[in-house]
Amino acid sequence: KDVLYVGDHIFGDILRSKKQRGWRTFLVVPELSTEVHVWTDQSELFNKIKSLEQTLSIIYKNLDSSNMEKPDISNVQRAMMDTVHELDLSYGMLGSLFRSGSRLTFFSSQVQRFADIYAASVINLIHYPFTYMFRAPAMLLPHESTVSHENTIPADDFTIARQRSVNNENKYAKVQHVPHLRPETPTKVTHHHDDDDFEETSSNSSDKST
């Protein structure tokens, strides 16, 4: 963990050094400068895509399985396709290395999976102290991005599935009679992955002091 390996090939450099040596990895992606330029220069297109997605969600907001009529979203779909196509043209003839339309490319998923950090050049490290802790921002999961914190969602009721049939009540044990159905919630933090390096550094320093 004390070594940061810098390379520009996912399988030849990053993946091999991580699996065989356990080193931290820094992936150099020169095309990233173009990606960042489009992200800042074409901010209106990104905002337009976000606005169209919000319009689409508003159309379906009050609909459920009882609605038999299909809403007309052809105009929104067409506008979204045109906007995504215009955005793709901003990356040049070969398109984006990280995006395919409104989705991430396979290369992008590999970078997120294998590289600890990545940048257009290793010179970017000059702008950070050697003790800097690089940490990715928290990402919302699909089920978290669709539910607001203000909503009240009841916990799963396990008794529903067990009491659907009156004839089978005695066939299965009732949930309330099962001991330790759920583990007790810890009263304090038991482990945090961000502290792994800190604990290892502390142990090394204590060994040296002794």
pLDDT, averaged in runs of 10, over the chain (210 residues): 83 81 88 92 91 90 84 91 89 87 86 89 91 83 77 59 46 52 63 54 53
The model's pTM is 0.62
Full residue range of the structural domain in which residue 135 is found: 4-153
pLDDT value, residue 164: 45
Q: Is residue 193 part of a domain?
A: no
pLDDT value, residue 16: 82
Total domains in the chain come to 1
pLDDT value, residue 183: 63
Residues 6+ apart with CB under 8 A from 4: 23, 24, 25, 26, 116
Q: Is residue 51 part of a domain?
A: yes
Q: Is residue 188 part of a domain?
A: no
pLDDT value, residue 93: 83
Q: CB of 82 within 8 A of CB of 76?
A: no
pLDDT value, residue 69: 86
pLDDT value, residue 206: 52
Q: Is residue 67 part of a domain?
A: yes
Place of tokens 């919630």: 185
Q: Is residue 206 part of a domain?
A: no
Q: Is residue 149 part of a domain?
A: yes
Q: Is residue 65 part of a domain?
A: yes
Q: Is residue 168 part of a domain?
A: no
Half-sphere exposure of 50 (CA within 13 A, CB side): 6
